[in-house]
Amino acid sequence: MTPHTFEALPLAAPIQRALAERNYTTPSPIQAQAIPLLLEGRDLLGCAQTGTGKTAAFSLPILQELYGDPRPLRPKSPRVLVLTPTRELATQVGKSLETYGKYIKIKHALVYGGVGQRPQVNAMRSGVDVLVACPGRLLDLIDQGHINLSSVDFFVLDEVDRMLDMGFQRDVQRIVALLPKKRQSLFFSATLAPAMVQLAHTILVNPATVSIAPETTTAEKVEQRVCFIERDNKRSLLIKLLSEQKEGELAIVFSRTKHGSDKLARMISKEGIPAEAIHGNRSQPQRDRTLERFRQGKVPVLVATDVAARGVDVKAVTLVVNFDLPNEPEAYVHRIGRTGRAGATGTAVSFCCPDERDYLRDVEKLIGNTLTVDTDQCWHLASLAQDHVRHGNRSNGVPKIKQGNRSGGGGRSAGSNRSGGSSNPGNSGGGSAGGGSRRRRRNPRRANA
């Protein structure tokens, strides 16, 4: 029988206390189905979309196991290994363990690239209960003799679709080969493409399968529209949209390049709207500080490259602006997944100038829908909109047009959708698009961006 409350789950009192303090009462579907199976010791193949609470689905059983079966720490040897594709996601998994394990005496460590390894080596020297790691740095420290995986009882492979998309498959297989044969394993992905199912069968033993179809997809929760505009007018429209945000609402602006995101952040700040940039060239401590200021609302605008398209789980984000359309359509789905999370609604506005028309058509083909054309802005490029409507998208028909009165040069408020609360622990993961990435693959082990 599927539990309808967290109180109905056989979780220890200290864990229940931490959940109650956060006002978490009703588990999400993935939590209600996965947690009982994991508490029984089953391997699990889980498929769930963005914002469904996957992190708590494996964090709570891990904490229960550690609380119910305490053991002395072993030098360099974790009992639990959680493997994530990015350092942002690793950080959020760590925060979830701290939140739900507030009243449990456990020790965890984070291992990822982009920062010096000495603190990570020191953290592992005396041993930890839980190690949350990215593949590249983990293998580096294993090769140097600082980490030993022979004592792992519980293995979590999170966001497998993203892991494969980033070219980590060989690293993952090498890590799995170092784990004990006798262990409990959990495999989470937003999609179950054949390559992922094949990989799962090499890792899991007689797994239970939990596949959650969300009540509404991310796209249905997010109002999506496109603004056709000359490139020189993009900045003016961006400032207008950001100035219409209400107090307490947060916005993420996506730029295609690191240099461009820095320039945009400076420009926005000069207009009196605090903004900071986050991208792969910034150090991990800088990125952590920026994200924390953003979460707290001290910096209401985050300008990001696609490094932030996954792993940024901030429920107050009501607006996403694609200042530059992504040259890979899958990134669009990841980007707009930063709003409309945990049942809330949000707005995603994409700017399209003449040389980005092909990018827009690729996005619409991928999502199987056409974006609403917003004419309610005084920089509306009618000729480009008409060309898009005339040619349409062969698979989706004619785009929708949202008419508006542009006589005053006004635009509709992009911040009208308020973020709602949540009754269950949020998900730290990111969105996923169907199909494989067409980006040129590289070896990301040293970056783990």
Give the burial class of 2: count Cβ atoms within 10 A of its Cβ; 0-12 exposed, 13-18 middle, 19 or more buried: exposed
Q: Which residues of 216-245 are buried (b: 16+ CB within 10 A; e: fewer)?
A: ebbbebbbbbbbbbeeebbbebbbbbbebb
d(CA 409, CA 223): 21
Q: Amino acid identity, residue 12?
A: A
The sheet with strand 301-304 has its strands ordered as 275-278, 301-304, 250-254, 317-322, 346-352, 222-228, 372-374, 401-402
Rounded to 5°, the CA angle 206-207-212 comes to 155
d(CA 409, CA 365): 31
Look up tokens 């901030």; give the residue. Answer: 314
d(CA 167, CA 160): 11
Whole-angstrom distance between the N-terminal and C-terminal Cα of the chain? Answer: 41
The whole-model pTM stands at 0.60
Contact 422, 25 (CB under 8 A): no
| Residue length of the chain | 449
Nearest CA to 236 among 147, 323, 329? 323
Nearest CA to 278 among 269, 265, 268? 265
Q: Which helix (H) or strand (E) holds 64?
A: helix 54-68
Contact 294, 319 (CB under 8 A): no
Contact 186, 44 (CB under 8 A): yes
The two tokens of residue 255 are 């730029």
CATH 3.40.50.300 fits 6-211, yes or no: yes
**Where in the chain is CATH 3.40.50.300?**
6-211, 218-402
Which residues, listed in sequence order, are joined to residue 397 by a DSSP beta bridge?
Answer: 393
Dump strand ranges (E) for 297-397: 301-304, 317-322, 346-352, 372-374
Rg (CA), the chain: 22
Per-residue pLDDT of the chain (449 residues; tens, 9 = 90+): 677 899 999 999 999 999 999 888 899 889 999 999 999 999 999 887 656 788 999 999 999 999 999 999 999 999 999 999 888 889 889 999 999 999 999 999 999 998 899 999 999 999 999 999 999 999 999 999 999 999 999 999 998 887 877 788 899 999 999 999 999 999 988 777 777 788 888 899 999 999 876 443 445 678 999 999 999 999 999 999 999 999 889 999 999 888 999 999 999 999 999 999 988 777 768 888 898 899 899 999 999 987 655 556 677 889 999 999 988 787 788 788 888 766 677 899 999 999 999 899 888 887 888 899 988 888 999 889 888 877 664 444 444 444 443 333 333 333 333 333 345 565 433 333 333 333 333 343 344 44
CATH number of 218-402: 3.40.50.300
Those residues whose C-beta lies under 8 Å from the C-beta of residue 189, and which sit 6 or more positions away, are: 46, 47, 159, 160, 161, 196, 432
Angle between helices 87-100 and 54-68 (to 10 degrees): 50
